[in-house]
Chains A and B, each alone.
Chain A
Amino acid sequence: MSPVGGNLNFFFKPRSIAVIGASRQPGKVGYDTLKNLIDDNFKGRIYPVNPSAPNILGLKAYKSVGEIDNEIDLALVIVPAELVINAFKELINKKVKGAVVITAGFREIGGAGVQREKELVEMCRGKIRVIGPNCLGIIDTYSNLNASFAPTMPRQGKIGFMSQSGAMVTAILDFAAGRDVGFSKFISMGNKMDLDETHFLDILGRDDNTRVIMGYLESVVDGRKFLETAYRVSRKKPVIIFKSGISVEGTRAASSHTGSLSGLDRAYECAFTKSGVIRARSIEDLFDWADVFASQPLPKGKRVAIITNAGGPGIIATDKAAEEKLTLATVNAATAGKLRKILPPAASVYNPIDVLGDADSTRYQQVIDLLAQAEEVDGMVIILSPQANTQIEETAKIVSNFSYTSPKTVITSFMGEDRVATAFSIFKRGRVANISFPDRAVKAMAMMANHSAWIAQDKPEAYYKDIEEEKIKKFLKAKAGEGKIKLVDFEVREILDMCRIPTLPTVLTNTADEAVDAAEQMGFPVVMKVYSPEILHKTDVGGVRVGLRTQKDVAGAFEAIMVSVRKFLPQVLILGITVQKMIEGGKEVIVGFSRDPQFGPLVMFGLGGVYVEVLKDVNFALTPLSKKEIRELVTGIKSYPLLSGVRGEKEKDLEALYEVIATIGTLGEKFPEIVEMEINPLMVKDKGEGVWAVDGRLVLRGDQG
Chain B
Amino acid sequence: MIELFVGSTTKYAGKTMVVLGILDYWKSKGLKVGYFKPIGKNFTLKEDTKVEEDVLLIKERFLMEDDLSLMCPFHLGHQDYIDLVLGKLGDAGDRIYGAYEKIKKGKDAVLVGGGQDLLDGSSVGVSNISFVERLKIPVLLLDAPVFGDVNLDAIIAMRDRLGDRLLGVILNRLPSESIDFTRKYFVPFLESEGVGVWSLVPANSKLNSLSIGEIRDELGGTIICCEDRQDEAVENFMVGAMNVEAALKHFRAQANKAVITGGDRADIQLAALETPTKVIILTGGMYPDSSVISAAQSKNVAIMVVADDTMTVVNKMDSAVRKVSVRGKRIEESISTFQRFVDKKYLEMLTK
- Residues of chain A at the chain B interface (Cβ within 8 Å): 107-111, 113-114, 248, 251-252, 255-262, 264, 266, 483, 485-486, 510-511, 566, 570-573, 575-576, 594, 597, 675-676, 699, 701-705
Residues of A within 8 Å of B276, CB to CB, are 485, 701-705
Shortest distance between the CB of A148 and any CB in chain B (Å)? 24
Q: Knowing A259-B294, A485-B276 touch, does A264 contact B245 (C-beta < 8 A)? A: yes
Residues of B within 8 Å of A256, CB to CB, are 266-267, 289, 291-292
Q: Is B277 part of the contact surface with A, judged by Cβ < 8 Å?
A: yes
Is the CB–CB distance between B185 and A510 below 8 Å? Answer: yes
Give the interface segment out of B64-72, B86-94, B247-255: B247-255
With most chain A CB atoms within 10 A of its CB, the pick from B146, B248, B291, B297 is: B291
Q: Is B339 part of the contact surface with A, judged by Cβ < 8 Å?
A: no
Q: Is B178 part of the contact surface with A, judged by Cβ < 8 Å?
A: yes
CA distance A702 to B181 in the complex (A): 28
CA distance A510 to B295 in the complex (A): 46
CA distance A453 to B289 in the complex (A): 44
CA distance A107 to B184 in the complex (A): 59
CA distance A88 to B175 in the complex (A): 58
Is the CB–CB distance between A108 and B177 below 8 Å? Answer: no
Residues of B within 8 Å of A675, CB to CB, are 252
Shortest distance between the CB of B82 and any CB in chain A (Å)? 34
CA distance A534 to B286 in the complex (A): 31
**5 more A-B contacts (CB under 8 A) besides A108-B291, A594-B248?**
A251-B243, A262-B267, A485-B253, A485-B276, A705-B273
Residues of B within 8 Å of A486, CB to CB, are 253
Is the CB–CB distance between A258 and B293 below 8 Å? Answer: no
Residues of B within 8 Å of A266, CB to CB, are 245
Residues of A within 8 Å of B184, CB to CB, are 510
Q: Knowing A252-B265, A260-B295, A704-B276 touch, does A575 contact B178 (C-beta < 8 A)? A: yes
For A483, give its contact among B181, B244, B255, B265 (CB under 8 Å): B255
CA distance A109 to B243 in the complex (A): 25
Residues of A within 8 Å of B32, CB to CB, are none
The 11 listed contacts between A and B (C-beta, < 8 Å) are A255-B270, A257-B291, A264-B245, A573-B146, A573-B147, A573-B177, A699-B253, A702-B276, A704-B276, A704-B277, A704-B299
Is the CB–CB distance between B244 and A251 below 8 Å? Answer: yes
| Chain A proximity mask over B267-296: 1 for CB below 8 Å, otherwise 0 | 101110111111000000000011111110
Which B residues, 223 to 261, have Cβ-Cβ distances below 8 Å to chain A?
243-245, 248-249, 252-255
Which B residues, 317 to 351, have Cβ-Cβ distances below 8 Å to chain A?
none
Instruction: Give the nearest-CB partner of A264 in chain B.
Output: B245
Which B residues, 197 to 241, have Cβ-Cβ distances below 8 Å to chain A?
205
CA distance A675 to B244 in the complex (A): 15
CA distance A111 to B291 in the complex (A): 9
Residues of A within 8 Å of B265, CB to CB, are 252
Q: Is B301 part of the contact surface with A, judged by Cβ < 8 Å?
A: yes
Residues of B within 8 Å of A252, CB to CB, are 244, 264-267
Is the CB–CB distance between B244 and A114 below 8 Å? Answer: no
Instruction: Give the nearest-CB partner of A245 in chain B.
Output: B267
CA distance A261 to B271 in the complex (A): 6
Is the CB–CB distance between A676 and B249 below 8 Å? Answer: yes
Is the CB–CB distance between B292 and A259 below 8 Å? Answer: yes
Residues of B within 8 Å of A259, CB to CB, are 266, 270, 289-292, 294-295
Residues of B within 8 Å of A701, CB to CB, are 252, 276
CA distance A704 to B259 in the complex (A): 13
Residues of A within 8 Å of B274, CB to CB, are 261, 597, 704
Q: Is B42 part of the contact surface with A, judged by Cβ < 8 Å?
A: no
CA distance A704 to B300 in the complex (A): 9
CA distance A634 to B269 in the complex (A): 34
Q: Knowing A256-B291, A485-B255, A573-B178 touch, does A261 contact B147 (C-beta < 8 A)? A: no
Shortest distance between the CB of B270 and any CB in chain A (Å)? 4
Residues of A within 8 Å of B292, CB to CB, are 255-256, 259
Residues of A within 8 Å of B293, CB to CB, are 110-111, 114
CA distance A705 to B300 in the complex (A): 6
Is the CB–CB distance between A573 and B294 below 8 Å? Answer: no
Instruction: Give the nearest-CB partner of A248 in chain B.
Output: B243
CA distance A594 to B250 in the complex (A): 12
Residues of A within 8 Å of B245, CB to CB, are 264, 266
Residues of B within 8 Å of A705, CB to CB, are 273, 276-278, 299-301
Instruction: Give the nearest-CB partner of B180 in chain A.
Output: A510
Shortest distance between the CB of A161 and any CB in chain B (Å)? 25
Instruction: Give the nearest-CB partner of B243 in chain A.
Output: A248
Instruction: Give the nearest-CB partner of A575 in chain B.
Output: B177
Residues of A within 8 Å of B177, CB to CB, are 573, 575
Residues of B within 8 Å of A573, CB to CB, are 146-147, 175, 177-178
With most chain B CB atoms within 10 A of its CB, the pick from A255, A486, A701 is: A255
Is the CB–CB distance between A704 and B275 below 8 Å? Answer: yes
Residues of B within 8 Å of A597, CB to CB, are 248, 274
Shortest distance between the CB of B62 and any CB in chain A (Å)? 31
Shortest distance between the CB of A675 and any CB in chain B (Å)? 5
CA distance A109 to B289 in the complex (A): 9
Instruction: Give the nearest-CB partner of A117 in chain B.
Output: B294
CA distance A640 to B294 in the complex (A): 46
Instruction: Give the nearest-CB partner of A267 in chain B.
Output: B245
Is the CB–CB distance between B255 and A261 below 8 Å? Answer: no
CA distance A541 to B276 in the complex (A): 28
Shortest distance between the CB of A511 and any CB in chain B (Å)? 7
CA distance A243 to B181 in the complex (A): 54
Q: Knowing A113-B290, A260-B270, A264-B245 touch, does A699 contact B295 (C-beta < 8 A)? A: no
Is the CB–CB distance between A576 and B291 below 8 Å? Answer: no
Residues of A within 8 Å of B148, CB to CB, are 566
Q: Knowing A110-B291, A255-B266 touch, does A571 contact B185 (C-beta < 8 A)? A: no
Instruction: Give the nearest-CB partner of A531 in chain B.
Output: B177
| Chain A proximity mask over B170-196: 1 for CB below 8 Å, otherwise 0 | 000001011001001100000000000
For A110, give its contact among B185, B269, B294 (CB under 8 Å): B294
Instruction: Give the nearest-CB partner of A569 in chain B.
Output: B147
Is the CB–CB distance between A107 and B253 below 8 Å? Answer: no
Is the CB–CB distance between B275 and A264 below 8 Å? Answer: no
Shortest distance between the CB of A529 and any CB in chain B (Å)? 16
Q: Knowing A261-B267, A703-B276 touch, does A107 contact B255 (C-beta < 8 A)? A: no
Chain A to chain B: the 10 pairs with minimum beta-carbon distance, closest first: A110-B290, A259-B291, A256-B266, A702-B276, A114-B294, A261-B270, A705-B299, A252-B267, A255-B266, A255-B267
Which B residues, 296 to 319, have Cβ-Cβ distances below 8 Å to chain A?
297-301
Shortest distance between the CB of A563 and any CB in chain B (Å)? 12
With most chain A CB atoms within 10 A of its CB, the pick from B245, B249, B269 is: B245
Q: Knowing A114-B297, A260-B270 touch, does A575 contact B175 (C-beta < 8 A)? A: yes
Residues of B within 8 Å of A510, CB to CB, are 181, 184-185
Instruction: Give the nearest-CB partner of A703 in chain B.
Output: B276
Shortest distance between the CB of A277 and any CB in chain B (Å)? 21
Shortest distance between the CB of A106 and any CB in chain B (Å)? 10
Shortest distance between the CB of B161 and any CB in chain A (Å)? 29
Residues of A within 8 Å of B270, CB to CB, are 255, 259-261
Is the CB–CB distance between A258 and B181 below 8 Å? Answer: no
Shortest distance between the CB of B41 and any CB in chain A (Å)? 24
CA distance A675 to B115 in the complex (A): 45
Is the CB–CB distance between B267 and A251 below 8 Å? Answer: yes
Is the CB–CB distance between A702 and B300 below 8 Å? Answer: no
